[in-house]
């Protein structure tokens, strides 16, 4: 393995246990690589055999492979491990050329192919992507990524932007085939557009001017493997990885400048990236479509707090809750369509008019516009079908569901009236498999908002919240908690609502 120190520092910085198998001793510094001394596959086999008895890996990150014997050995090893550990993921950083010049190996594509066919995630830079495809003249990232996926059946192809021409921005690209990743955590919500079999997007950040980037490629792949090992979905793992890399590069920017960018130094692996400014801009179909859309109207709270946000499924519940003086309620109708649906929505909107309560309609944005609702709540699955420009022009407020940092950053760019984060805890109201955030993730996502001095979009937490755990959720600083069953299935709903309102107000 190349960059063994970088790998260990990265994984430990991110709270992941790591075992390393060294495939070669290299003679290199940050200026040059002079020799590579491969380790025999006999030794590697013995190490793998003994380590697997300690603890099975959840992710294997592969870096330098020095010769064909090692490639063949690893191909056999991965084939065997995958039978033993069905959820095992492998991340391959196709190390070939050293960033400081010189080659680590002379492997051909034909020799590498059987191994590539065992890989789930690959992280080439532009030069490596060209070598993997045999395309030397085209700089169409999408074409390169799709060819890598197609030729080797690799589920996720992440092409790093470090070698691109753009001097201002470093744009990394992800092509992700929608089948089994992350195997361990099936994602019930994705893709937004259910007809798609693959998604692609860019993550873009300002280019950082530092020469302290030696080992950055290893750190990228190991950070990605570390986030995947912790159960993050690929889009969130990739976003966190980009933030981790930005954080490390920015940490050395001043050192590099101080020495006049004269020599190279080691990439500075740090810990969990928790500052909003390290996180990239998400560029996908949705952000491109709506890049010029103005911000949605705010909730006009005039210093008041949003408080408890009941999400209810009938006119019966609406009539029961409207007189209770809440700032916000959502009507979430499921399994009704046609005229009956329109009747319910129009009646709900009419019923809410005499009250100060802001009524949001879930999903049915056209009916919400038609009948003049205060706002509409749109989930990730509905985002590609909804016409956000129409909602905005009609003056309706918009709430968007998010589950993880990729969706949160993207939704934040759309400047809705509020953002929802869920599911905080397991819930029986909706299938949220693979999307349970917990308190830690909620806190991490809240840190992705702009500094309090800038305009912050209110955040609502949802999913499995009840009287027992509400205080814990509110302690994170969310503006509101949204609940379904904590009210609708309570023995005494008004009493439960009152308790939740008290807890919410006490948290401000
Ligand atoms: C406040 C709030 N947050 C999230 C949701 C979930 O919306 P969505 O993802 O569209 O799922 P459904 O509610 O439509 O099943 C919500 N409704 N409200
Ligand atoms: C409707 C819904 N959306 C969620 C999300 O995370 O987007 S969680 C959820 C269910 C909320 O119901 P309860 O309060 O009964 O757990
Ligand atoms: Mg919805």
- In a shared domain, residues 269 and 304: no
> Is 331 in the same domain as 202?
no
Cα–Cα distance measured from residue 90 to residue 81, given in angstroms and rounded to the nearest whole number: 11
* Mean pLDDT (whole number) for 469-475: 97
pLDDT at 180 over 60: no
283 within 8 A of 202, measured Cβ to Cβ: yes
The answer to the question of residue 176 being in a domain is: yes
* pLDDT score of 146: 95
Q: Give the tens place of pLDDT for each residue, 247-302.
A: 999 998 887 777 777 767 788 999 999 999 999 999 999 999 999 999 999 999 98
Q: Is-contact 349 330, C-beta < 8 A?
A: no
Q: Is residue 424 part of a domain?
A: yes
Mean pLDDT taken over the chain: 91
Q: Look at residue 200 and tell me whether its pLDDT is greater than 60.
A: yes
Is pLDDT at 186 greater than 70 in this prediction? no
- E-only strand ranges, 355-500: 358-362, 375-378, 397-402, 418-421, 459-462, 480-483
Q: For a pLDDT cut of 90, what percent of the chain falls above it?
A: 74
472 Cα: distance to centroid of ligand 1 (angstroms): 21
226 contacts: CB under 8 Å, gap ≥ 6: 10, 11, 14, 15, 16, 18, 59
Clarify whether residues 134 and 171 are in a common domain.
Answer: yes
pLDDT above 70 covers a percentage of the chain that reads 94
**Is the predicted pLDDT of residue 185 greater than 50, yes or no?**
no
Nearest-CA residue for atom 16 of ligand 2: 464
Q: Is 172 in the same domain as 317? A: no
Q: Which of residues 283, 310, 327 is at a domain's end?
A: 283
Please check if 93 is assigned to a binding site: no
Using the 3D structure, point to which of 235, 259, 283 is the last residue of a domain. Answer: 283
445 CA distance to ligand 2 middle (Å): 17
Q: 311 lies in a domain?
A: yes
214 and 144 share one domain: yes
- Are 134 and 271 members of one domain? yes
Tell me if 249 sits within 8 A of 212, measured CB to CB.
yes
98 falls in which pLDDT band (50, 70, 90)?
low
35 is an annotated ligand-binding site residue: no
Q: How confident is the model at residue 96 (pLDDT cuts 50, 70, 90)?
A: low
Whether 292 maps to a domain, the answer reads no
Do residues 310 and 339 touch, judged by C-beta distance below 8 A? no
Compute the distance between CA of residue 372 and CA of residue 352 in angstroms, rounded to an integer.
11
Task: Let me know if residue 42 belongs to a domain.
Answer: yes
Considering the domain architecture, whether residues 234 and 324 belong to the same structural domain is answered as no
Asked if residues 275 and 247 have their Cβ atoms less than 8 Å apart, the reply is: yes
Give the Å distance between the CA of 336 and the centre of ligand 3. Answer: 14
Q: What is the DSSP letter of 89?
A: E
The whole-number pLDDT of residue 433 equals: 84
Residue bearing the CA closest to ligand 2, atom 7: 422
172 in a known ligand binding site: no
Distance 456 CA to ligand 3 centre (A): 23
Q: At what angle do helices 438-446 and 405-413 cross, to 10 degrees?
A: 30
pLDDT of 187 over the 60 cut:
no
Domain count within the chain: 2
Most distant pair of Cα atoms in the chain: their distance = 79
- CB 462 less than 6 A from any atom of ligand 2: yes
Chain centroid to CA 24: 33
What are the start-end ranges of the H helices in 125-284?
126-133, 141-152, 216-229, 234-258
The pTM score is 0.94
Inform me whether the pLDDT recorded for 71 exceeds 90.
yes
For residue 180, how far is its CA from the centre of ligand 3 (angstroms)? Answer: 24
Return the structure tokens found at 107: 């492997």
The answer to whether the CB of 469 is under 6 A from ligand 2 is no
> Which residue puts its alpha carbon closest to atom 8 of ligand 1?
379
pLDDT(15) > 80: yes
- Same structural domain for residues 178 and 68? yes
Any idea which of 124-133, 159-168, 175-184 has the lowest mean pLDDT?
175-184
Asked if residue 332 belongs to a known ligand binding site, the reply is: yes
Q: Cα separation of 134 and 108, whole Å?
A: 11
Report whether pLDDT(184) > 70: no
pLDDT at 188 over 80: no
Range of the domain at 9: 4-283
Tell me: is residue 382 an annotated ligand-binding position: yes
Alpha-carbon distance of 246 to 244, in angstroms, equals 6
Q: Which residue, judged by its Cα, is nearest atom 9 of ligand 1?
A: 379
Could you tell me the distance, in angstroms and rounded to a whole number, from the CA of residue 378 to the centre of ligand 1?
7
CB 239 within 8 A of CB 278: no
Q: Which of 332, 411, 445 to mutate to test the pocket of ligand 1 (most atoms within 8 A of CB)?
A: 332
Q: For residue 96, give the CATH number of its domain.
A: 3.40.1190.20
432 lies in some domain: yes
**ipTM entry:** 0.99
**What pLDDT does residue 1 have?**
40
Q: Cis before residue 239, ω within 30 degrees of 0?
A: no
Regarding whether 253 and 311 lie in a shared domain, the answer is: no
Joined together, the tokens standing for residue 448 give 């992705």
Looking up tokens 């990524």 gives 145
- CATH number of the domain bearing residue 491: 3.20.20.70
**258, 109: one domain:** yes
Q: 37-55, pLDDT tens digit by residue?
A: 999 999 999 999 999 989 8
Please indicate, yes or no, whether residues 363 and 231 belong to a single structural domain of this protein. Answer: no
Q: What pLDDT is attached to residue 215?
A: 82
Residue 303's pLDDT is 85
Please check the confidence at residue 195 and state whether its pLDDT lies above 90: no
Closest C-alpha residue for ligand 1 atom 2? 420
- Do 262 and 309 lie in a common domain? no
Q: Was 485 annotated as part of a binding site?
A: yes
Report if residue 290 sits inside a domain.
Answer: no
Taking residues 215-244, report their average pLDDT.
95
Q: State the closest ligand 1 atom to the C-alpha of 189, by its place in the atom list counted from 1.
A: 9
pLDDT digits (tens, 9 = 90+) for 446-469: 999 988 767 789 999 999 999 999
Q: Is 330 annotated as a binding residue?
A: yes
Kindly tell me if the per-residue pLDDT of 182 is higher than 70.
no
CA distance linking residue 215 with residue 228, whole number of Å: 20
Which ligand is nearest the CA of 330, by number?
A: 1
Q: Which residues line ligand 1 (CB under 6 A)?
A: 309, 311, 330, 332, 362-363, 377, 379-380, 382, 399, 401, 420, 422, 430, 460, 462, 482
Instruction: Quickly list DSSP for 407-445.
Output: HHHHHHHT--SEEEE--SS--SSS--TT---HHHHHHHH
Q: Do residues 121 and 154 lie in contact, with contact meaning Cβ atoms separated by under 8 Å?
A: yes
Ligand 2 atom, smallest distance to 435 CA: 6
Taking CA 332 as the corner, what is the angle to CA 328 and CA 333, rounded to the nearest 5 degrees?
Answer: 145
pLDDT band at 21 (very low <50, low <70, confident <90, very high): very high
Contact between residue 222 and residue 466 where contact means Cβ atoms under 8 Å apart: no
Given a cut of 70, whether residue 104 has pLDDT beyond it is no
**Residue 109 domain flag:** yes
> Mean per-residue pLDDT for 22-46?
89
Pair of tokens at residue 101: 């010049």
* Residue whose pair of structure tokens reads 């969706």 in the numeric block: 407
Tokens 């074409």, residue located: 143
The closest residue, in CA terms, to atom 7 on ligand 1 is 379
Q: Is 424 in the pocket of ligand 2 (CB under 6 A)?
A: no
Res 429: pLDDT: 97
């Amino acid at each position: 393995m190349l960059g063994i120190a970088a790998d260990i520092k990265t994984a430990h910085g991110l709270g992941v246990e790591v075992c390393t198998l060294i495939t070669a001793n290299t003679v290199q510094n940050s200026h040059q690589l002079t020799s590579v001394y491969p380790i025999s596959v006999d030794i590697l086999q013995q190490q793998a055999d003994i380590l697997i008895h300690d603890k099975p890996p959840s992710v294997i990150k592969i870096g330098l492979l020095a010769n064909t014997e090692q490639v063949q050995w690893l191909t056999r090893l991965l084939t065997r491990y995958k039978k033993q550990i069905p959820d095992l993921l492998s991340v391959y950083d196709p190390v070939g050329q050293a960033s400081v010049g010189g080659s680590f190996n002379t492997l051909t594509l034909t020799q590498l192919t059987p191994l590539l066919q065992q890989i789930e995630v690959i992280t080439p830079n532009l030069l490596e992507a060209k070598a993997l495809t045999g395309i030397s003249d085209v700089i169409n990232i999408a074409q390169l990524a799709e060819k890598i996926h197609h030729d080797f059946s690799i589920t996720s192809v992440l092409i790093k932007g470090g070698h691109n021409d753009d001097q201002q921005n470093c744009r990394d690209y992800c092509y992700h085939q929608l089948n089994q990743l992350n195997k361990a955590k099936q994602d019930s919500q994705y893709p937004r557009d259910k007809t798609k079999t693959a998604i692609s997007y860019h993550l873009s950040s300002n280019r950082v001017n530092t020469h302290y980037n030696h080992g950055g490629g290893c750190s990228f792949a190991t950070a990605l493997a570390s986030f995947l090992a912790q159960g993050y979905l690929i889009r969130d793992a990739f976003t966190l990885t980009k933030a981790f890399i930005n954080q490390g590069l920015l940490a050395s920017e001043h050192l590099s400048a101080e020495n006049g960018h004269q020599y190279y130094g080691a990439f500075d692996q740090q810990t969990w990236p928790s500052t909003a400014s390290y996180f990239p801009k998400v560029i996908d179909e949705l952000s491109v479509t709506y890049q010029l859309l103005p911000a949605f109207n705010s909730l006009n709270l005039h210093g008041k707090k949003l408080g408890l946000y009941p999400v209810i499924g009938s006119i019966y519940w609406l009539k029961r809750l409207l007189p209770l003086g809440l700032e916000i309620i959502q009507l979430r109708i499921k399994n009704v369509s046609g005229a009956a649906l329109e009747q319910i929505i129009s009646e709900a909107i009419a019923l809410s008019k005499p009250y100060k309560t802001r009524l949001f309609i879930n999903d049915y944005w056209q009916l919400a516009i038609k009948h003049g609702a205060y706002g509409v709540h749109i989930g990730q699955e509905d985002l590609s079908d909804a016409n956000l420009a129409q909602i905005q022009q009609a003056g309706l407020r918009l709430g968007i569901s998010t589950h993880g940092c990729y969706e949160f950053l993207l939704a934040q760019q759309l400047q809705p009236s509020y953002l929802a984060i869920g599911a905080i805890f397991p819930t029986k109201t909706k299938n949220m498999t693979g999307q349970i955030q917990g308190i830690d993730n909620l806190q991490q996502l809240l840190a992705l908002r702009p500094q309090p001095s800038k305009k912050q979009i209110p955040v609502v937490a949802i999913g499995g919240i009840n009287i027992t755990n509400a205080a814990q959720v509110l302690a994170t600083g969310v503006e509101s908690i949204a609940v379904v069953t904590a009210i609708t299935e309570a023995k005494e709903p008004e009493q439960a609502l009152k308790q939740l309102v008290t807890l919410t107000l006490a948290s401000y």
